[in-house]
Structure 1
Amino acid sequence: MSILRRFRSSGPRLLPELDDVDLGRVRRQLNSLGIPGQGAIQVDQVERLVQQAGTDWDRRGHRLAVLAEAAAPSGLARSWRLRRPNSADPMVFEAWVELVRGRHAGRMEDARAAADHCYRATGVVPEDPTPWVVLLGILRLMRADSRELFAVWNEVVERDPWNREAHLQMLRYLSPEECGSRGRQLEFVDTVRTSVPSTAPAVAVELTALVDEHARVAAKGGVEGLLVRRQWTNSRAARALDAALAEWPRPGHLRHAAARADLNLLAFALVQAGRPRESAAAFDLIGDTATAWPWVLDGEPLQEFGYWRSKALV
Structure 2
Amino acid sequence: MPLFSSRTAKRPRIVPALDDAVLARVLRQLSKRGGESRALDIALVSSVLEETGDDWDLRNHRVSVLAEATAGTGISSAWVDREPDSADALVFHSRVALARGLHERHLRDVRQVVEDCRRASELSPADPLPWVTLLGVARIERYAQADVNAIWREATGRDRWHREAYVQMLAYLSPEEGGSSAAVLDFIDVVRAHIPANAPCAPIELTAAVRQYQGLLAQGGVRAMTAGQLWDTGQLAAALEQAAALWPKPGFFQHAALLADLNMLAYALCAAGRAADAHPVFQALQNTVTPWPWNAEGDPVQVFEQYRAKAERGRQGGVGTP
| Length-normalised TM-score, structure 1 | 0.95
Q: What's the offset of the Cα at 1:214? A: 0.4
Summarize deviations over 1:250-309 as a string: whole Å, max 9, x none: 111111000011011100000000111101111111111111100112221101111222
Aligned-pair Cα RMSD in Å: 1.5
Alignment partner, residue 176 of structure 1 = 175
Q: How does 1:270-309 map to 2 (within 5 A)?
A: 270-309=269-308
Given that residues 61 and 257 in structure 2 are in contact (C-alpha distance below 8 angstroms), is that contact kept between their aligned partners in structure 1? yes
What fraction of aligned residue pairs are identical, expressed as a percent? 43
Q: Does 1:53 align with 2:60?
A: no
Q: How does 1:132-211 map to 2 (within 5 A)?
A: 132-211=131-210
Summarize deviations over 1:86-138 as a string: whole Å, max 9, x none: 11010010011011111111111101101100000111010110111111111
Given that residues 153 and 166 in structure 1 are in contact (C-alpha distance below 8 angstroms), is that contact kept between their aligned partners in structure 2? yes
Alignment partner, residue 23 of structure 1 = 23
Return the letter of the residue paired with 2:73.
S
Given that residues 22 and 48 in structure 2 are in contact (C-alpha distance below 8 angstroms), is that contact kept between their aligned partners in structure 1? yes
Question: What SS class does the counterpart of residue 175 from structure 2 fall into?
Answer: coil
Q: 1:74 to 1:3 in 2, by over 3 A?
A: closer
Summarize deviations over 1:176-233 as a string: whole Å, max 9, x none: 2224221111111112211111111101110011001101111111121122112112
Given that residues 138 and 172 in structure 2 are in contact (C-alpha distance below 8 angstroms), is that contact kept between their aligned partners in structure 1? no
Given that residues 9 and 288 in structure 1 are in contact (C-alpha distance below 8 angstroms), is that contact kept between their aligned partners in structure 2? no
Return the letter of the residue paired with 1:93.
F
What CA distance in whole angstroms lies between the structure 1 residues aligned with 2:307 and 2:214?
18
Which range is displaced more, 288-297 or 25-34?
25-34
What CA distance in whole angstroms lies between the structure 2 residues aligned with 1:63 and 1:35?
19
Alignment partner, residue 232 of structure 1 = 231
Alignment partner, residue 223 of structure 1 = 222
Alignment partner, residue 90 of structure 2 = 91
What CA distance in whole angstroms lies between the structure 2 residues aligned with 1:44 and 1:232?
47
Return the letter of the residue paired with 2:171.
R
| Length-normalised TM-score, structure 2 | 0.93
Residue correspondences, number: 311
Q: What's the offset of the Cα at 1:35? A: 5.2
Given that residues 192 and 205 in structure 1 are in contact (C-alpha distance below 8 angstroms), is that contact kept between their aligned partners in structure 2? no
What CA distance in whole angstroms lies between the structure 1 residues aligned with 2:196 and 2:271?
25
Question: What SS class does the counterpart of residue 132 from structure 1 fall into?
Answer: helix
Gaps of 5+ in 2: 317-322
Q: Does 1:13 align with 2:13?
A: yes
What CA distance in whole angstroms lies between the structure 2 residues aligned with 1:294 and 1:35?
32
Given that residues 270 and 311 in structure 2 are in contact (C-alpha distance below 8 angstroms), is that contact kept between their aligned partners in structure 1? no
Question: What SS class does the counterpart of residue 271 from structure 1 fall into?
Answer: helix
Name segments (4+ residues, structure 1) moved above 4 Å.
none
What CA distance in whole angstroms lies between the structure 1 residues aligned with 2:141 and 2:35?
36
Return the letter of the residue paired with 1:146.
Q
Q: How does 1:73-92 map to 2 (within 5 A)?
A: 73-92=72-91
Q: Does 1:121 align with 2:120?
A: yes
Q: What's the offset of the Cα at 1:3? A: 6.8
Alignment partner, residue 5 of structure 2 = 4
Q: What's the offset of the Cα at 1:29? A: 2.9
What CA distance in whole angstroms lies between the structure 1 residues aligned with 2:244 and 2:4?
21
